[in-house]
Amino acid sequence: MKTTEVVLQASALGKSFSRKGKAPVIALDALSLRVKAGAVTGLVGPDGAGKTTLLRLAAGLLLPDAGSISVLGLDSASQAIEIQSRIGYMPQQFGLYQDLSVQENLELYADLQAVPLSLRPSRFAELLQMTGLGDFQKRRAGALSGGMKQKLGLACSLIKKPRMLLLDEPTVGVDPVSRRDLWQIVYKMVADEGIGVLMATSYLDEADRCAEVVVLYEGRKLAEGTPAEFRDKLKGRVFTLTPPAGGPPPRLLQTHLAGQPGIIDVMIRSGRVRCVVEAELAARLKSGHSELFPAAAYDKIELSEPSFEDAFMALVPKADLRPKNAASLSPEPDPVPGAVSRRDEIMVSAHNLTKNFGAFTAVREISFEVGKGEIFGLLGPNGAGKSTTFRMLCGLLKVSGGEVQVAGRDLRRAGSRARAQLGYMAQVFSLYRQLPVRSNLEFYGRAYGLSGARLRQRINWALDEFHLRGREESPAGLLPAGYRQRLAMATALLHEPAILFLDEPTSGADPLARREFWLRISGFAAQGVTVVVTTHFMEEAEYCDRLLIMSRGTELVQGAPAAIRRLAQSPENPEPTVEDAFIVLAEGRLPAAAPTGAQGVES
Amino acid sequence: MTALRASLMRIRGLLRKEMLQVRRDPSSILLALVMPLLLLFLFGYGVSLNPNHVPVAVVASDTGAAARELAARFALSPYFVPLSVKTLNQAEELLKEKKVDAIIHIHENFSADLLTRGGAPVQVIINGVDANRARLLQGYTQGVVQTWVAQEQRRGVLPAGSAAVVVLPRIWFNEANESRNFLVPGLMVLIMTLIGTLLTALVIAREWERGTMEAILVTPVRVFELILGKTLPYFFLGLSGLGLTVAGGVLLFAVPLRGSLLLFMLLASIFLLASLGFGLAISAAVRVQFVAAQIAVIAGFLPAFFLSGLLFDLESTPLPIQLVSHIIPARYFVEICHTLFLAGNIGPVLWSATWPLVVMAIVFFTVVRRKLSGKRLE
């Protein structure tokens, strides 16, 4: 039987990378693993778990330090070339030649894989049809959208009908429609050709689509099995709470529960709070009482079907990351002051914002308003124009048309006083890598006009709030990714800005870091800070009070998450996600009754 | 399909990709074809350090007292290191082989003419490849002779007031004494270094940065195919840039090309290979464009500019710098250019400048081969 054939086998595989003057980093440690033909095996784990290293070892790009890895029965250390002519490999940053057209890229990889000329026309036609790139044959790869680039990358790695496919996070930053298309192509290859696929992914919901999943953590295998096996372990431990209609946003309840004893994970899904709890707490909840869940905070509590993500969160060890500022529900009798955003006090407004780069329109007539204490999200896949919009808001980029006001002023004309009201966290880590944590904080504090006792007080606040104690003297560049993110956010908040601009703060962060981040944001918003944030993770829409979804420079829809989700509601899909809504909108399948994107959807 | 056909197909794919990229990326074209012309036009008059300890051949055909004394003056001067030679022929050979930079010829009737006619000429032949240096040398020789004459006049040996000794200077190889004739051939060195080292280092580092290298390495491509795919396009790009400069130099600035063009192209190819090898070695070791550019400029371009003898006469630099210059490929090519353009096909000089280039090319390509062996990412 085909499905029992093993296409990849790793035994006691070890790999470490030496660093100058420091202990080597262990990327993989005694890892044993099998990947079967005719199925998709998912490789999940937080950043630095060793996913990319494993794929590179399999492709013969790295040599193992210990153990061995074989692909299609060939040893990757000694028979790399033989493996490379039989597999398809798609690196994380897929290397398409930007200056070459779609057709030329395909031809290049066909040449490199020595695909006979006679087979090419039919193969190219098949791949172009499968990826929907038929109409773009002559277009340069650099001018394709992010999703099309990934599809072309996949097509290039499939050029010679590989017997095994290695995919390194192929769907990161890709719009939901293309993401779905990519999966369809992969499934088709598995069904038609019976190939084996090993796919690393940081989207936990994708693991549910795999036949088998391997969870890596710090170079070791934490667990493996079918997604159902993972899910079954958590049966009876996942609860969904429905917040009262018209009450505070669900994120307040989420923030309240995060990090409490007995609670493993808590997140917002489709407007409800979903939590994974320890078995002991689950038993108490089933019998109907727990002091952790103030009765006024929710209407309904019900048992839910576990997902792979729940199981993952329960598996991966985590430190106490609960932010100190976490907003609480009790003991305060009223909703936290400022928790309900005040739409009457407009902090940020954009009107018909447009930006042209030469003949290319990056942003076209975007309008929105953000009230005090609101979390406003700019969502969209890579290349949608989020960062461009953002830079115009911050006064870093000149607008081609339209108006922007931040705290009642145009930042391009207003002086430093207006700028002092906002905190900005750039997409790339923009602190001084060689300077220690404390010096970075001091520098940015002074740059924003803090000094003396006030500066010391704020730095102490930042060190406590962001759990940076004990790392004050380590150079910023050497901090683990999660801590770097915290430091960047701390510097943006030192001067207590009224408005916080965060550009893709969760890009490249693993699920754990992303959760922690959103908890913090909720906390600051509860204190009255206005937050404008961009992200390409559609599920993060749930943490925003309101959001604007962009695609190719224009607005797809604007409104509260619940209202946007409703757009995709149908008999087949009674509880759609924001991602479903994006697909519906992007494909123009709007329900007739729904308002159009430009007018916005208000809750 | 045979292994050979598969290999040829892969090489073809790589070559076509590279050429399409060059064609569509204006920066490579700028660097390879526009830059040479720009440099050609912009290159002004070079700067030269004051030469000293210049080797000169002294042909004293006269054994009279005056002649011996004048010859001794050259030995005393800090500027010259005289080498006594019997015949003018021998001296000319030395000049051609660049063993000496000038010939001081004292005629057989020098002493007699000086006494009987009250005046005599001294012939000075100077290597004029470096126009600046030639001018300075001319001045020095004149100075030495005149000081001697003035002393003799004070001592009353020579009659006062007359221009007793006339220096008859002649400049060889570059009679026009044009800086241009010296600089334009030198420019070829800069252009080839730019294309060979800088462009190559940049384009491969760019592949690392954009992730295309990882995608290429994971195909069944062999290392030598990869190297060939990167070397050939830039080799031809380099040769066209060179052709452009040669044509520009000869047609626009009337720089003489005394040696054979074919030989020049052959030797230039060898230098280009050494240069490409260096660029490839940089990019195999460094995977960031910025760093690759820095290294290429500091280790490739700047030495080609300052330490190759293109601008500054190497023989007047301190010994350590002279020693360092021996590991700089550009130094040898400067010599080849100057020789072939201004002197002609002078075998021994050309050979002594060519074999180090061959060695360097082999060394660099071996390094590249080693670095990429196994196509591993580490």
The answer to whether the CB atoms of A114 and B9 lie below 8 A apart is yes
Which among A502, A280, A233, A413 is positioned nearest to A225, based on CA atoms? A233
Which among A501, A423, A429 is positioned nearest to A462, based on CA atoms? A423
Which residues on chain A place their C-beta less than 8 Å from a C-beta of chain B?
Answer: 17, 56, 59-63, 80-82, 84-85, 87, 89-100, 104, 107-114, 116, 140, 153, 156-157
Tokens of A325: 């500022």
Which among A595, A522, A521, A593 is positioned nearest to A555, based on CA atoms? A595
Contact B73, B147 (CB under 8 A): yes
Q: Does the pLDDT of residue B161 top 90, yes or no?
A: no
d(CA A317, CA A314): 8
Contact A237, A279 (CB under 8 A): yes
Residue A481, H or E segment: helix A481-493
When CB atoms are compared, the residue of B5, B24, B213 closest to A99 is: B24
Q: Does the pLDDT of residue B37 top 60, yes or no?
A: yes
Q: How far is A404 from chain B (nearest CA, A)?
A: 35
Contact A50, A31 (CB under 8 A): yes
Contact B230, B200 (CB under 8 A): yes
Tokens of B109: 């009737």
Query: How many other CB atoms are there within 10 angstroms of residue A456's CB atom?
Result: 13
Position A198 scores a pLDDT of: 93
CATH 3.40.1440.60 fits B54-172, yes or no: no
Q: Tens of pLDDT along A538-572?
A: 888 888 889 998 888 888 889 888 888 888 888 88
d(CA B339, CA A562): 81
Contact A418, A409 (CB under 8 A): yes
Position B178 scores a pLDDT of: 58
Among A97, A120, A140, the residue to mutate for chain B (most B Cβ within 10 A)? A97
Dihedral in degrees, nearest 10, Cα atoms A327, A333, A339, A340: 160
Among B5, B17, B218, B223, the residue to mutate for chain A (most A Cβ within 10 A)? B218
pTM of the model: 0.74
d(CA A501, CA A430): 14
Q: Tens of pLDDT along B256-268?
A: 778 788 888 888 8
Q: How far is A5 from chain B (nearest CA, A)?
A: 23
d(CA A253, CA A274): 10
Tokens of A314: 């329960």
Tokens of A10: 């790793």
In A425-434, which positions are buried (b, 16+ CB within 10 angstroms) versus exposed (e)?
Answer: bbeebebeee
Which residues in A lie closer than 8 A to residue B374 (C-beta atoms)?
63, 80
When CB atoms are compared, the residue of A100, A112, A116 closest to B1 is: A116
Nearest residue on chain A to B24, alpha-carbon basis: A99
Sort residue A192 into left (φ over 0), alpha (ψ -120 to 50) or beta. Answer: alpha
Which residues in A lie closer than 8 A to residue B12 (C-beta atoms)?
111
Tokens of A69: 């890895």
Q: What is the mean pLDDT of chain B?
A: 80
- DSSP codes joined into one string, A420-464: TTEEEE-SS--S-TTSBHHHHHHHHHHHTT--HHHHHHHHHHHHH
Nearest residue on chain B to A108, alpha-carbon basis: B13
Q: Give the phi and the psi of residue A424 in degrees, each rounded to 5.
A: -130, 130
Burial class (CB in 10 A: 0-12, 13-18, 19+), A359: exposed
The answer to whether the CB atoms of B216 and A93 lie below 8 A apart is no
Q: Tens of pLDDT along B93-135?
A: 888 888 888 888 888 888 888 777 777 888 888 887 776 677 7
Which residues in B lie closer than 8 A to residue A140 (C-beta atoms)?
24
- Amino acid occupying residue A232: D
Position B292 scores a pLDDT of: 87
CA distances from A399 to A207, A355, A369, B42, B129 (A): 42, 6, 17, 40, 59
Beta strand residue intervals within A299-400, DSSP E: 300-303, 342-357, 360-372, 375-379
Return the sign of the alpha-carbon dihedral for residues B368, B374, B375, B378: negative
Position A338 scores a pLDDT of: 40
Tokens of A198: 């090993």
Contact A316, A249 (CB under 8 A): no
Q: How far is A476 from chain B (nearest CA, A)?
A: 21
- DSSP codes joined into one string, B84-132: EES-HHHHHHHHHTTS-SEEEEE-TTHHHHHHHTS-EEEEEEEE-SSHH
Nearest residue on chain A to B215, alpha-carbon basis: A95
Q: Give the phi and the psi of residue B362 in degrees, each rounded to 5.
A: -65, -45
Helix ranges (DSSP H) in B261-346: 261-285, 289-295, 302-306, 319-325, 329-338
Query: How many other CB atoms are there within 10 angstroms of residue A220's CB atom?
Result: 15
Among B12, B214, B226, B372, the residue to mutate for chain A (most A Cβ within 10 A)? B214
Which residues in B lie closer than 8 A to residue A64 (C-beta atoms)?
none
d(CA A371, CA A359): 34
Which among A594, A99, A217, A506 is positioned nearest to B26, based on CA atoms? A99
Look at chain B and count its residues. Answer: 378
Sort residue B150 into left (φ over 0), alpha (ψ -120 to 50) or beta. Answer: alpha
Which residues in B lie closer than 8 A to residue A107 (C-beta atoms)?
13, 16
The answer to whether the CB atoms of B376 and A61 lie below 8 A apart is yes
Q: Which distant-in-sequence residues (6+ apart) come within 8 Å of B349 by Cβ?
A: B96, B97, B98, B335, B339, B343
Position A601 scores a pLDDT of: 46
Nearest residue on chain B to A90, alpha-carbon basis: B215
Q: What is the ipTM of this complex?
A: 0.71
Return the sign of the alpha-carbon dihedral for residues A242, A246, A249, A253: negative
Which residues in A lie closer than 8 A to residue B5 (C-beta atoms)?
114
Q: How far is B25 from chain A (nearest CA, A)?
A: 7
- DSSP codes joined into one string, A550-571: EETTEEEEEE-HHHHHHTT--S
Burial class (CB in 10 A: 0-12, 13-18, 19+), B247: exposed
Which residues in A lie closer than 8 A to residue B28 (C-beta atoms)?
none
Beta strand residue intervals within B35-87, DSSP E: 54-60, 80-85
Residues in chain A where the model's pLDDT stays below 70 = 1-4, 19-22, 94, 288-292, 318-344, 411-412, 414-415, 508, 589-603
Q: How far is A188 from chain B (nearest CA, A)?
A: 23
Nearest residue on chain B to A114, alpha-carbon basis: B6
The answer to whether the CB atoms of B10 and A111 lie below 8 A apart is yes
- DSSP codes joined into one string, B173-208: S-TT--HHHHHHHHHHHHHHHIIIIIIHHHHHHHHH
pLDDT mean over B8-37: 83
In B125-143, which positions are buried (b, 16+ CB within 10 angstroms) versus exposed (e)?
Answer: bbbbbbbbbbbbbbebbbe
The full set of domain ranges for chain B reads 54-172, 180-377
CA distances from A393 to A401, A410, A456 (A): 13, 9, 31
A220-225/A212-217 β-pairing? antiparallel
Give me the residue label for tokens 């294309």: B195
Q: Which distant-in-sequence residues (6+ apart) come within 8 Å of A311 by Cβ?
A: A230, A231, A233, A234
Look at chain A and count its residues. Answer: 603
Contact B91, B57 (CB under 8 A): yes
* DSSP 8-state assignment for residue A362: E
Tokens of B286: 């460094």
d(CA A173, CA A175): 7
d(CA B5, CA B217): 19
* 3-class SS shares of chain B: helix, strand, coil, % to 5: 70, 10, 25
Sort residue A182 into left (φ over 0), alpha (ψ -120 to 50) or beta. Answer: alpha
The answer to whether the CB atoms of A95 and B16 lie below 8 A apart is no
Give me the residue label for tokens 């396009």: B233
Long-range pairs, B176-179, Cβ under 8 A, ≥24: B177/B128, B177/B131, B177/B134, B177/B135, B178/B131, B179/B45, B179/B46, B179/B131, B179/B132
- Helix and strand numbers, DSSP H then E, in chain B: 17, 5
Give me the residue label for tokens 């193969």: A123
Looking at per-residue pLDDT, the higher value among A512 and B298 belongs to B298
Q: Give the phi and the psi of residue A19 in degrees, each rounded to 5.
A: -125, 150
Which residues in B lie closer than 8 A to residue A59 (C-beta atoms)?
218
Question: Which residues, listed in sequence order, are joined to residue A268 by a DSSP beta bridge?
Answer: A273
